[in-house]
Amino acid sequence: MRVVFFGTPQFAVPSLEALIAHPDFTVVAVVTQPDKRRGRGNQLSPSPVKAVAVQHEIPVIQPRSIKKSAADLAQLRDYEADVFVVVAYGQILSQEILDMPHHGCVNGHGSLLPQYRGAAPIQWCLYNGETATGMTTMLMDIGMDTGAMLLKSDYAIGLFDTAHDLAVALSQQAAQLIVETLPQLVAGRLTPVPQVDADATYASLIQKPDYELDWSKRAIDLHNQVRGFYPNCVTQFRNQGLKVIATVPLVSALLEQLPAEYVDVMAQLSVSPDVPPGAVATIVKKHGVVMQTGEGLLLLKQVQPAGKKAQSGWDFANGMRVEPGERLGPT
């Protein structure tokens, strides 16, 4: 089976590697985003997908706009692919491109469609406190993740799974699901299932304001925000930025999901009911700062003060001599 693979970030790499390794597929070309300047030296760096393609001597196409490059469109058509496989490519494909392969374009999407269509399904499902997600393969159409579904695989989300953790797990699921989907699709053993638009939700691009922590929210909601937008959530401490990288919601309703050490912490806590949201409720030895939220307490497990490296909540409390009653957030 002749395959053209479209993908860009690390999330897409396991799918490309699975197709390369499988004896029934020949990856005839890879389409990925243009190289970007990264690092202190501002050097041009290839996408993770391109790096794998180059390693395996697979031709690479890197259009700035896949829909507008006549030369690239002609080249894609010349490959006479049986199928295009798309995993986190980063550009919208035109109807002209969707019509090129003999068996259509198969997309691996990081949610259980029609839930969380769009650019950031992993991040928003964590933000919303979902306990399950998964991968869906679908036949692409001109809409945003609206195509008929082919196969699905489920994944149970843990209380401390971050967007990074979930991306790693789902990228492996994507690779397995795509390898399962393609032969069945070509053999006519799959019946595409239309999505019910009324059941759809949308996972929009993440904006800078989404990273700001609002301490009037519940502890569990703040925890979900921190792990969903990992590692970029921020607040303010002593008029400087403070990145909050990992948290523990010290909430009685979550006792069964908490490691024993945090159950012990909760048993020893003694916090005044008068502490307002956004204030340091207490400092727990060897653990660090415990914040009062709009509902419940939140332990800051790992933070990164402005201009410093990431550190444990206990090191932060000691190094900055944090005092109970101090406020985090806008002054």
pLDDT tens track for 284-314: 999 999 999 999 999 999 999 999 999 999 9
> Partners of 62 in the beta sheet?
none
pLDDT (0 to 100) of residue 306: 92
Task: Give all domains of the chain, ordered by start, each with its CATH number.
Answer: 2-203 (3.40.50.170), 211-319 (3.10.25.10)
Q: What does the DSSP assignment read for 1-14?
A: -EEEEEE-SGGGHH
What does the block give as tokens for 250?
A: 């010290």
pLDDT (0 to 100) of residue 3: 98
pLDDT average, residue stretch 112-139: 98
pLDDT at 40 over 80: no
Instruction: Report the predicted TM-score, pTM, of the whole model to 2 decimal places.
Output: 0.95
Collapsing DSSP to helix, strand or coil, 240 comes out as strand
Q: One-letter amino acid identity for 229?
A: F
pLDDT (0 to 100) of residue 68: 87
pLDDT average, residue stretch 29-54: 91
pLDDT at 41 over 80: no
**Residue 328 annotated as binding site:** no
**Residue 114 annotated as binding site:** yes
Candidates 96, 187, 95; CA nearest to 147 is 95
pLDDT at 110 over 80: yes
Mean pLDDT, the chain, whole residue set? 96
**Residue 69 annotated as binding site:** no
pLDDT average, residue stretch 278-282: 96
Rounded CA separation 5/24 (Å)? 15
Band (pLDDT 50/70/90 cuts) for residue 56 is very high
pLDDT average, residue stretch 181-199: 96
pLDDT (0 to 100) of residue 11: 98
Full strand arrangement of the beta sheet holding 26-31: 60-61, 26-31, 2-7, 83-87, 105-109, 132-139, 149-156
**Residue 111 annotated as binding site:** yes
Least confident of 19-33, 178-192, 202-216, 267-281: 267-281
